[in-house]
Chains A and B, each alone.
Chain A
Amino acid sequence: MIRAENVVKTFDDFTALDGLNIHVPEGAVYGLVGPNGAGKSTIIRNITGIYRPDSGSILVDGRSVYENPAVKAEIGYIPDDQYFFVQAGIRDMMRWYRSIYPSFDMDRYKKLGEVFRLDEKRPMRKLSKGMQKQAAFWLALCLRPKVLILDEPVDGLDPVMRRQVWSLVLGDVAENGTTVLVSSHNLRELEDVCDHVGIIHKGKTVLERSLSELQENVVKVQAVFPDGTELPEDLRILHKSVSGRLETLIIRGGLEEIRTRIEALEPVFYDLLPLTLEEIYIYEMGGEEYAAKDILL
Chain B
Amino acid sequence: MIKLDYRDARPIYVQIKEGIKALLVSGALAPGERLPSVRELATQLTINPNTIARAYRELTNEGFLYSVPGRGSFAVPEEDTAKLKKQELFRSFDKAAKDLTDVGVGTDELIDRLRTKEGSK
List residues of A whose CB falls within 8 A of some B CB: 27-29, 163, 166-168, 170-171, 173-175, 188, 191-195, 211-212, 215-216, 220, 269, 273-276, 279
Most buried by B among A27, A29, A168, A174: A174
Interface of A is mostly: helix
Contacts of B51 in A (CB 8 A): 195, 211-212
Contact B6 A171 (CB under 8 A): no
Contact A193 B47 (CB under 8 A): yes
- Pick from A27, A166, A215, A273: contact of B50, CB below 8 A: A27
Contacts of B13 in A (CB 8 A): 212
Apart from the given pairs A171-B39, A193-B47, A275-B9, 11 other A-B contacts in the complex at a CB distance below 8 Å: A28-B50, A167-B44, A170-B42, A170-B43, A173-B50, A174-B42, A188-B6, A192-B45, A212-B54, A269-B102, A274-B14
Contacts of A215 in B (CB 8 A): 11
What's the Cα separation between A274 and B5 when bound, in Å?
14
Contact A170 B54 (CB under 8 A): no
Contacts of B50 in A (CB 8 A): 27-29, 173, 195
B116 within 8 A of A: no
Contacts of B4 in A (CB 8 A): 192
How far in angstroms is the closest Cβ of chain A from B37? 8
Interface of B is mostly: helix
Contacts of A173 in B (CB 8 A): 42, 48-50
**B side interface size, CB within 8 A:** 22
What's the Cα separation between A193 and B45 when bound, in Å?
10
List residues of B whose CB falls within 8 A of some A CB: 4, 6, 9-14, 38-39, 42-51, 54, 102
How far in angstroms is the closest Cβ of chain B from A181? 14
What's the Cα separation between A216 and B10 when bound, in Å?
10
Q: List 8 A-B contacts (CB under 8 A).
A: A175-B39, A192-B45, A192-B48, A194-B48, A215-B11, A216-B11, A274-B11, A275-B9
Contacts of A193 in B (CB 8 A): 46-48
